[in-house]
Amino acid sequence: MRKLSVFTILLAGLFFVGCQESSTKSSSSSESSCHTCFTLDETQQVVVEKPKREGVYHFATEDTQVYSSDGSKVIGSVIKGYGFAEVKEQGDKVILKAVGYIKDGDSLNIYADEDFILPAITLKEGSVVKDMEVAIPKAKLTKTESEIWSKSEFIYYDNCSMCHAAHSPKEHTIQEWEGVYGTMKAFAMPTEEDDKLIWEYLRSHSKGSFALDE
């Protein structure tokens, strides 16, 4: 009996970890196995905070680590291009306010989109809160959002306007792009590196997502 329950817990744990991983990865495939994790509590989805931009903004130049607001330890990660409102500078880091969508029943993620498809900030443990303050090294931040995307934008239009006029990322939501890009990727056959850049560009600039530069 005891053996059985330990085994069950282990299995559940494995499933959970597997899901966490595939949901945070920049997966460009349409068959993201993770949707099952979130459909369970779909009825509880509540937008706690509508993101709006005020004051000075800083953007993560790459997928990078997020520190506690006193800068002492790594508490999680953020995806490339995500923006934060500046609170103040402190040594080699900037203290920032995380703005995004928080889903009831999901304490580890702040989402980039209101459909809760793209986790922007993911904590290792603990709980996200409204107006959460975090710290990020200055070296991983820029105030010029377009700087982050200029290469990806070029690669996107280079790969995706061969057969038809390029489609604006704003034509589709992240969820729709998962399907459309999945199909079009087979046509465009980008290199592995370009695939990553194109997907990062699409998901951040899609309808309802976070990037504002054009």
- By the criterion CB under 6 A, which residues form the site for ligand HEC? 159-160, 162-164, 167, 180-181, 184-185, 187-188, 198
Least distance from C-beta 179 to ligand HEC, angstroms?
A: 8
- Burial tier of 81 (Cβ tally within 10 Å: 0-12, 13-18, 19+): buried
| Closer of 80 and 185 to ligand HEC (Cβ) | 185
Least distance from C-beta 161 to ligand HEC, angstroms?
A: 8
| Closer of 159 and 204 to ligand HEC (Cβ) | 159
Token reading at 162 = 């061969």
| Closer of 78 and 184 to ligand HEC (Cβ) | 184
Least distance from C-beta 142 to ligand HEC, angstroms?
A: 26
| Closer of 139 and 162 to ligand HEC (Cβ) | 162
The values of phi and psi at residue 193, to 5°, are: -65, -45
Least distance from C-beta 167 to ligand HEC, angstroms?
A: 4
Q: Torsion over CA of 63, 179, 119 and 52, rounded to 10 degrees?
A: 100
DSSP, collapsed to helix, strand or coil, labels residue 175 as: helix
DSSP, collapsed to helix, strand or coil, labels residue 67 as: strand
